[in-house]
Amino acid sequence: MSRDRQRLAISRPKQGAAGKTGAWRVFKPVRDEGKCNRCGICALYCPDSVIDEDLEIDLEFCKGCGICANECPKKAITMVRD
Ligand code: SF4
Ligand code: SF4
């Protein structure tokens, strides 16, 4: 039997998979640089893949769902009124 490492298939959404956000967003995420440890978990969980490698959040596509804030282990993201 081959000892090659098997990899599982993985699929990620494209940036802005759900399209541009209109004016309907109520809350937007704000990251606190002082609390953030740059683990990248927020980017991993964002369903619209709008948090890039530098942890910049693209508000043109962000839906304000709050999943990033909810998953952040350091509570470094706050959802504020848009
Ligand atoms: S999950 Fe929280 S601590 Fe981790 S990179 Fe994102 S904002 Fe920073
Ligand atoms: S609020 Fe939702 S869409 Fe916006 S960056 Fe966080 S997880 Fe992504």
Binned at pLDDT 50, 70 and 90, residue 3 comes out as low
**Helices and strands (DSSP H and E) totals, the chain:** 2, 2
Closest CA to 65 of 29, 40, 34: 29
Q: Is residue 69 part of a domain?
A: yes
Q: Is residue 16 part of a domain?
A: no
> What CATH number did the domain enclosing 73 receive?
3.30.70.20
Give me 31's structure tokens. 């990251």
Q: What is the pLDDT of residues 15-73, one digit of tens each?
A: 777 788 988 999 999 999 999 999 999 999 999 999 999 999 999 999 999 999 999 99
How long is the chain?
82
Count structural domains, the chain.
Answer: 1
The model's pTM is 0.84
Q: Is residue 68 part of a domain?
A: yes
> Domain range holding 61?
31-81
Q: Is residue 37 part of a domain?
A: yes
* Continuous segment of H or E residues that includes residue 53: none
Does 48 contact ligand 2 (Cβ within 6 A)? yes
Q: Is residue 9 part of a domain?
A: no
At 16 the pLDDT is 74
Asked whether residue 2 carries a pLDDT value surpassing 60, the answer given is: no
Give the residue, by CA position, lying nearest to ligand 2 atom 4: 62
Q: Which residues on neighbouring strands pair with residue 27, listed in sequence order?
A: 81
